Amino acid sequence: MKTVRKSIFPEAEDTWASIAARELTDTSQEDAVAKIQSWNLHVFARRAPDDDAPRAGNPILPSDVIFLEAPLTA
């Protein structure tokens, strides 16, 4: 059986900080946010919506897959 990386679909108003606080409780907030961003470059590198947009400053969409651990090794 193949092992799958732990992941979630974010809640509607999730941010990097809210995901980190909820999912990586044993890690400091700053370290948890950095880890989640590094494991999710497909979202982190996305251009954030403009300041006048409904999701201003937040590139995370509810349809994104957010990985909660580093890539698995072969």
Please tell me what DSSP assigns to residue 69.
S
Please tell me what DSSP assigns to residue 51.
T
* pLDDT for 1: 64
Rounded Cα gap, residues 1 and 8, in angstroms? 21
Rounded Cα gap, residues 72 and 62, in angstroms? 24
pLDDT (tens digit per residue) in 20-64: 999 999 999 999 999 999 999 999 888 877 888 877 778 899 999
Return the domain boundaries, the chain. Answer: 7-67
Backbone angles phi, psi at 7, to 5 degrees: -150, 165
* pLDDT for 3: 84
Rounded Cα gap, residues 62 and 60, in angstroms? 7
